[in-house]
Amino acid sequence: MKTLREVLLEKHQAAEPKLDAIREQVTAGLAAGTTNAPARAKERERSWQPESSKFQIGWRRLLWSLRWHLAGLSAVWLVALLLNLDPTPDSMQGVARRNVPSPRQLLAALRENQRQLHELISAPASEPAPEPPKPTPSPRSEARPFSVIAV
């Protein structure tokens, strides 16, 4: 003779492994949530040591000690990168940047300017321009008065 409790528990005994899995999953999640972070970090650090050489351990310790600095620098670099990214290529900044000549072009333009200046400066010495003829006033006596010639 059995009680109803025994009958029911025996009937569902087959579900026990699945219930065990559920229980373990829930308690594992609970353990992951309640263990404090520093203790976990120490455990993680300790777990590296057996499989690493002295150099690796030292290197990792150095990196680990600088983790916040490295993270901060990385964040700064990321921000700088994001700020420098130009999402609109047709913006004024892009146009202005495209209009700036290259150093080679600048040099060529400078040389051209120098050449032209040189030509301007040196041209009168080598080849003097002919003076325009001075207008010589004729004597008043030679001036013929306006007269009407009768034909």
d(CA 106, CA 124): 29
Looking at beta carbons, which pairs linking 92-98 to residues 24 or more positions away fall under 8 Å?
Answer: none
Instruction: List binders of another protein among 98-127 (CB under 8 A).
Output: none
Q: Which of 7, 81, 148, 150 binds another protein (CB under 8 A)?
A: 7
Phi, psi of 88 (to 5 degrees): -115, 100
Please give the size of the binding site for another protein, defined by CB under 8 A.
26
Phi, psi of 55 (to 5 degrees): -65, -45
Per CB under 8 A, the segment of 22-30, 38-46, 67-75, 114-122 that binds another protein is 22-30
Specify the 3-state DSSP secondary structure of 111. Answer: helix
Is 43 among the residues that bind another protein (CB under 8 A)? no
Amino acid at 128: P
Residue with Cβ nearer another protein (34 or 136)? 34
Residues at the interface with another protein (CB under 8 A): 1-5, 7-9, 11-13, 15-16, 18-20, 22-28, 30-31, 34
